[in-house]
């Protein structure tokens, strides 16, 4: 099932979200709260929630932000504003708080921006744009003045973008480090690192978190700058997931640039952005989970339904396997329709049978046909074998719909080599017999079985070991088939019908089918989930069919004009 991550500001929002979708994970943006407030929110979640999901703490990393001291006010287009560092504001607060034309930013951001003034500054994902920044001595402070080319409402802690981005993301900054150290005692916490720029940044975070916790920690890299394909591949190697954050990326690249980057990212195209990729001996890919973030269902911040484009875009990209989940930000942090947006997001990502599900189902049907043939007698062996070969082709398609290998050559060679090796004893035994022609069918069968195993390994690799079920299933499959063929052709059926042999063949076969099917729901506990979660799944399904929440929301909503009057 796809991952849904919903941003919360307090325990109340968390409860609302989980009421609408108890499988949603949560996200807390640490930049919008003090470290103490963050820790007490984690404590509250732990003590009040019945079931606590994964909670991502979003770390500021190398993101630049307005100060917490910034007051909320509107800046109008064409006016002049003065950007000052937080420390100056704090020193002269009594005088400065009366002025409505100052923008207070974090000291580090002020220092890096002063050392090389950018052409433009974008605040709050580009909702406010400042042009022509220059040094100015306003209020006797070394300020940066700028013209407001797009006006809007300033709010504390909103993000600032300049291109090129002036802060490099190396080791954790002191505040993020303190947060990681203090939150390590909560086993349900994962981390998302903002403005991630290198694999080293993620490695440092992982090392810090895991050495304190003493166990593995899930880490997401937030991609908010146009990084090159090579760097993305490096980051993918050390991260559990990468979040494509289109809010900041859109500010960095402009909207048409974002469209182009999005296309290249989702098609893993090399060298358009950043430095050209270096030549590598082995093909490189961005194998890890990919999560779509930034204005995913933004229309629902103030409307009960998303736009058609949002609904189609989300469905398309989760369905075609480009993304493994979604982050909801403003939609749940301060949107008016928290429950509706969470329900809608879940519907959009499960409201169809994915290719993975459809082909696992088809594989099970072919296996059933194969079982019926093999139940009869030896002369139905070939139809049985062909049915199971079709089942493995279906499993191949199912696994590769989620995790494709990048190399066609590997797709052929890796399954071919073990198939040839396995065939050697059978060739020796059957070659000079009247059953020699069976060897062709058996070789073909071995190849499709090994291909399905290879594709299940790609899935295991892409999910960094989290979805190992398909691979283990295919190992059981091969074990069952090898024992069956050795017993039938090499030992000439002398053990046929022996209860121990039959038990091993049938139990490995059933375990294989169970594990392959479980690869569809890797987040649920093995086997038990099939029984304990039936009701929840049925409720979710009924809700989807009847669309109850959304019908209610539409009925209750008034036209925009009416609301504004
Ligand atoms: N813990 C919080 N307290 C108050 N407001 C918050 C909090 N978290 C998020 N918000 C609000 O929701 C908005 C969207 O959240 P998020 O996407 O995490 O922020 P940002 O875009 O600033 O990184 C924030 O800009 C802020 O206005
Ligand atoms: C999700 C994003 O990150 P943040 O919420 O930190 O702005 C984004 O930039 O789209």
CA–centroid distance, residue 54 to ligand 1 (Å) = 19
- 205 within a domain of the structure (yes/no): yes
Query: In the prediction, which pLDDT does 269 show?
Result: 65
Distance from C-alpha of 37 to C-alpha of 32, rounded to nearest angstrom = 10
Pull the structure tokens for residue 244: 């494509």
Query: If 0-12 CB within 10 Å is exposed, 13-18 middle and 19+ buried, where does residue 379 land?
Result: exposed
Q: Are 241 and 313 in the same domain?
A: yes
* 551: confidence class by pLDDT, cuts 50, 70, 90: very low
The answer to whether 273 touches 228, Cβ cutoff 8 Å, is yes
| Domain final position from 322, 350, 378 | 350
| Whether residue 15 sits in one domain with residue 143 | no
Task: State pLDDT tens for residues 287-310.
Answer: 888 999 999 999 999 999 999 999
**Residue 128 contacts residue 152 (beta carbons within 8 Å):** yes
- From 6, 13, 17, 29, the mutation candidate for ligand 1 (largest count of ligand atoms within 8 A of CB) is 29
Split at pLDDT 50, 70, 90, the class of 139 is confident
> What crossing angle do the helices spanning 11-20 and 35-48 adopt, rounded to 10°?
40
Range of the domain at 548: 531-564
Provide the CA 249 distance to its chain's centre, in angstroms.
Answer: 17
Ligand 1 atom nearest to CA at 27: 18
Alpha carbons 289 and 325: distance in angstroms, whole number: 8
Residues 228 and 357: their CA atoms lie apart, in Å, by 33
Q: How far apart are CA 509 and CA 477, in angstroms?
A: 6
Q: State which of 317, 332, 350 marks the end of a domain.
A: 350
- Identify the residue with better confidence: 1 or 460: 460
Alpha helices in 123-277 (DSSP H): 174-183, 199-213, 229-238, 246-266
Pull the structure tokens for residue 457.
């390994």
Q: Which residue has the tokens 């640039």?
A: 257
Q: Up-side HSE of residue 191: CA atoms within 13 Å toward CB?
A: 31
Share of the chain above pLDDT 70, in %: 87
Task: Answer for the pair 169, 195: CB distance below 8 angstroms, yes or no.
Answer: yes
Closest C-alpha residue for ligand 1 atom 13: 330
- The pLDDT of 321-344, averaged and rounded, is 95
Give the three-state DSSP class for 280: coil
Whether 52 is in a domain gets the answer yes
At which of 120, 140, 161 does a domain end? 161
Question: Does residue 532 carry a pLDDT above 80?
Answer: no
The ligand whose atoms approach the alpha carbon of 61 most closely is 2
User: What three-state secondary structure class fits 503?
Assistant: helix
**Ligand 1 neighbourhood includes 158 CB (under 6 angstroms):** yes
**33 pocket-lining for ligand 1 (C-beta < 6 Å):** yes
Q: Looking at the CA of 253, which ligand is closest?
A: 2
Ligand 1 atom with minimal separation from the 155 CA: 27
Check: CB of residue 325 under 8 Å from CB of residue 292: yes
Query: What is the CA(190)–ligand 2 centre distance, in A?
Result: 17
Tokens matching residue 551: 């019908």
- Decide: 81 in ligand 1 pocket, CB within 6 A: no
Task: Tell me whether residue 8 is exposed, middle or buried, using C-beta atoms within 10 angstroms of its C-beta: 0 to 12, 13 to 18, 19 or more.
Answer: buried
Question: Is residue 525, in this structure, part of any structural domain at all?
Answer: no
Whether ligand 2 lies within 6 angstroms of the CB of 159 is answered as: yes
Does some domain include residue 523?
no
291 CA from centroid of ligand 1 (Å) = 18
pLDDT at residue 288, as a whole number: 86
In this structure, the answer to whether residues 393 and 467 fall within a common structural domain is: yes
Residues pairing with 105 in the sheet: 66, 85
Q: Residue 141 pLDDT more than 90?
A: no
**Which three-class secondary structure state does DSSP give residue 312?**
helix
CATH number for the domain harbouring residue 300: 3.20.20.60
Q: How far apart are CA 99 and CA 97, in angstroms?
A: 5
CATH of the domain at 102: 2.40.33.10
Distance in Å, CA 351 to ligand 2 centroid: 26
Which ligand 2 atom lies nearest to the CA of residue 224?
A: 9
Q: Domain check: are 87 and 54 in the same one?
A: no
* Digit-coded pLDDT (tens) for 32-74: 999 999 999 999 999 999 889 999 999 999 999 999 999 999 9
Q: Are residues 333 and 378 in the same domain?
A: no
Q: Tell me the CA–centroid distance for residue 471 and ligand 1, in Å.
A: 40
Give the per-residue pLDDT at 50. 87
Most confident of 88-102, 136-150, 199-213, 371-385: 199-213
The residue behind tokens 């358009």 is: 272
pLDDT of amino acid 137: 85
Helix (H, G, I), strand (E, B) or coil at 294: coil
pLDDT value for 256? 95
Note whether 36 and 178 are same-domain residues: yes
Rounded to an integer, the average pLDDT of 322-351 is 92
Q: What is the pLDDT of residues 430-439, one digit of tens each?
A: 888 888 888 9
Stretch 380-402: mean pLDDT: 92
Task: Tell whether 366 is covered by a domain.
Answer: yes
Residue 318's pLDDT is 85
User: What are the pLDDT digits (tens) for 440-496?
Assistant: 999 999 999 999 999 999 999 888 888 999 999 999 999 999 988 888 777 766 666
409 and 512 housed in the same domain: yes
Give the up-direction half-sphere exposure of residue 11: CA atoms within 13 A in the CB hemisphere: 16
Q: How far apart are CA 318 and CA 512, in angstroms?
A: 27
Same domain, 84 and 171: no
Residues 220, 324 within the same domain: yes
Q: Is the CB of 9 under 6 A from ligand 1?
A: yes
- Kindly give the distance from the C-alpha atom of residue 192 to the centroid of ligand 1, in angstroms, as a whole number: 14
- For 238-278, write each residue's pLDDT tens digit: 999 999 999 999 999 999 999 999 998 988 765 455 444 45
Within 8 A by CB and 6+ apart from 280, the residues are none
Residue 296 CA to residue 525 CA, distance in Å, equals: 29
pLDDT (0 to 100) of residue 528 = 52
Q: Under DSSP, is residue 28 helix (H, G, I), strand (E, B) or coil? A: strand
- Residue 344: closest CA among 8, 24, 9: 24
Is 29 touching ligand 1 by the criterion CB < 6 Å? yes
What are the residues whose beta carbons fall under 8 Å from the beta carbon of 423, sequence distance 6 or more? 439, 442, 443, 446
Residues 481 and 536 in one domain: no
DSSP type of residue 335? -
| 152 & 201 share domain | no
Taking CA atoms only, the protein residue closest to ligand 1 atom 17 is 329
Residue 25 lies in a domain: yes
Categorize the per-residue pLDDT at 558 as very low, low, confident or very high, splitting at 50, 70 and 90: very low
Tell me which residue has tokens 């989620």: 402
- Would you say residue 368 lies in a domain? yes
Mean pLDDT of 188-216: 96
Q: Indicate whether 286 and 342 sit together in one domain.
A: yes
What is the number of the ligand 2 atom nearest to the C-alpha of 248? Answer: 9
User: Does 526 map to a domain?
Assistant: no
Q: How many domains does the chain have?
A: 4
SS3 492: coil
Q: Taking all residues of the chain, what is their mean pLDDT, rounded to a whole number? A: 87
To test the pocket of ligand 1, the residue of 11, 28, 32 to mutate (highest count of ligand atoms within 8 Å of its CB) is 32
| Pick from 92-96, 455-459, 462-466, 561-565: least confident | 561-565
- The interface pTM score, or ipTM, of the predicted complex is 0.97
Tell me which ligand sits closest to the C-alpha of residue 195: 2
Question: What does R_g of the chain's alpha carbons equal in angstroms?
Answer: 28
pLDDT at 283 over 80: no
User: Does ligand 1 have an atom closer than 6 angstroms to the CB of 7?
Assistant: yes
């Amino acid at each position: 099932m796809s991952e849904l991550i919903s941003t919360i500001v307090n325990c109340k929002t968390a409860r609302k979200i989980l009421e609408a979708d108890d499988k949603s994970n949560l996200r807390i943006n640490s930049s919008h709260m003090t470290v103490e407030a963050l820790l007490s929110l984690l404590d509250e979640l732990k003590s009040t929630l019945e079931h606590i999901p994964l909670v991502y703490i979003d770390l500021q990393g190398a993101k630049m932000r307005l100060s917490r001291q910034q007051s909320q006010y509107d800046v109008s287009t064409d006016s002049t504003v003065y950007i000052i560092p937080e420390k100056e504001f704090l020193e002269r607060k009594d005088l400065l708080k009366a002025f409505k034309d100052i923008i207070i930013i974090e000291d580090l951001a002020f220092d890096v921006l002063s050392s090389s003034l950018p052409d433009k500054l974008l605040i709050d994902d580009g909702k406010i744009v400042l042009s022509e920044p220059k040094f100015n001595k306003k209020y006797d402070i070394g300020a940066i003045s700028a013209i407001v080319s797009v006006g809007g409402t300033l709010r504390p802690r909103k993000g600032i973008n300049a291109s090129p981005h002036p802060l490099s993301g190396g080791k954790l900054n002191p505040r993020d480090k303190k947060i990681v150290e203090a939150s390590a005692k909560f086993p349900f916490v994962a981390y998302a690192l903002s403005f991630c720029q290198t694999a080293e940044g993620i490695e440092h975070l992982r090392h810090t978190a895991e050495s304190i916790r003493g166990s593995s920690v899930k880490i997401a890299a937030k991609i908010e700058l146009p990084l090159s394909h090579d760097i993305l591949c490096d980051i993918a190697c050390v991260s559990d997931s990468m979040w494509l954050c289109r809010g900041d990326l859109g500010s960095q690249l402009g909207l048409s640039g974002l469209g182009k980057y999005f296309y290249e990212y989702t098609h893993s195209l090399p060298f358009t952005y950043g430095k050209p990729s270096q030549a590598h001996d082995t093909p490189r890919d961005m194998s890890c989970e990919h999560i779509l973030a930034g204005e995913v269902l933004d229309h629902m911040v103030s409307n009960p339904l998303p736009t058609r484009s949002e609904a189609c875009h989300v469905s398309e990209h989760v369905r075609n396997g480009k993304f493994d989940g979604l982050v909801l930000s403003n939609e749940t942090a301060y949107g008016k329709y928290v429950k509706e947006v969470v329900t809608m997001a879940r519907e959009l990502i499960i409201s169809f049978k994915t290719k993975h599900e459809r082909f696992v189902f088809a594989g099970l049907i072919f296996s059933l046909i194969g079982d019926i043939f093999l139940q009869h007698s030896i002369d139905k062996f070939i139809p049985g074998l062909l049915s199971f070969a079709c089942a493995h082709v279906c499993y191949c398609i199912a696994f590769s719909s989620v995790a494709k290998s990048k190399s066609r050559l590997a797709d052929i060679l890796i399954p071919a080599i073990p198939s040839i090796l396995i065939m050697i004893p059978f060739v020796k035994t059957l070659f000079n017999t009247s059953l020699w022609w069976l060897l062709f069918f058996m070789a073909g069968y071995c190849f499709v079985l090994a291909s399905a195993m290879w594709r299940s390994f790609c899935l295991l690799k892409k999910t960094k070991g989290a979805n190992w079920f398909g691979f283990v299933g295919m190992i059981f499959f091969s074990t069952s088939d090898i024992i069956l063929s050795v017993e039938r052709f090499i030992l000439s059926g002398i053990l046929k019908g022996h209860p121990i042999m039959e038990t091993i063949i049938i139990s490995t076969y059933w375990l294989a089918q169970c594990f392959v099917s479980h690869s569809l729901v890797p987040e649920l506990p093995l086997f038990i989930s099939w029984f304990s979660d039936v009701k929840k799944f049925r409720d979710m399904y009924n809700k989807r069919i009847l669309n109850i929440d959304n019908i209610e929301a539409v009925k209750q909503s008034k036209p925009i004009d009416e609301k504004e009057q």
